[in-house]
Amino acid sequence: MNIYEIGISNYWTGAVRQIADSGGAPTGWTRTIVPELTIGQYAFWAGEWRVISDLTDPPNQIIYPEVSVSDKQGMELLIKETARLIQTQRIMVQMVSKG
């Protein structure tokens, strides 16, 4: 069974993992299949996948995760993970643009 990663702003990151049918999806992932997207469309998670095409007006239901960073190491990890997410989103936009 495939699971799909939900990014920080509730957009699909493009990441897909396989798990056992009996396995549970970890936090930040869902078993719900991402709908087919065309160029310029994005999948937004709001308890179900919604297809949107205008990122200049993001959905009102963006959920921000609670993050507790108490030390320098935690902050560095947060910065690295944020940079990874941004890079993933850039790659997805390029892939969608190329068709």
pLDDT tens, 82-97? 888 888 888 887 777 7
pTM of the model: 0.54
Burial letters 31-44, b for 16+ CB under 10 A, else e: eeebeebeeeebbb
Q: Note whether 11 and 69 are within 8 A (CB).
A: no
pLDDT tier at 31 (50, 70, 90 boundaries)?
A: very high
What gap in Å lies between CA 86 and CA 60, rounded to an integer? 21
**Can you tell me the distance from the alpha carbon of 7 to that of 15, in angstroms, rounded to the nearest whole number?**
9
Give the CA distances from residue 15 to residues 21, 62, 89, in Å, rounded to whole numbers and listed in that order: 18, 19, 10
**Domain assignments of the chain as residue spans, ordered by start:** 2-98
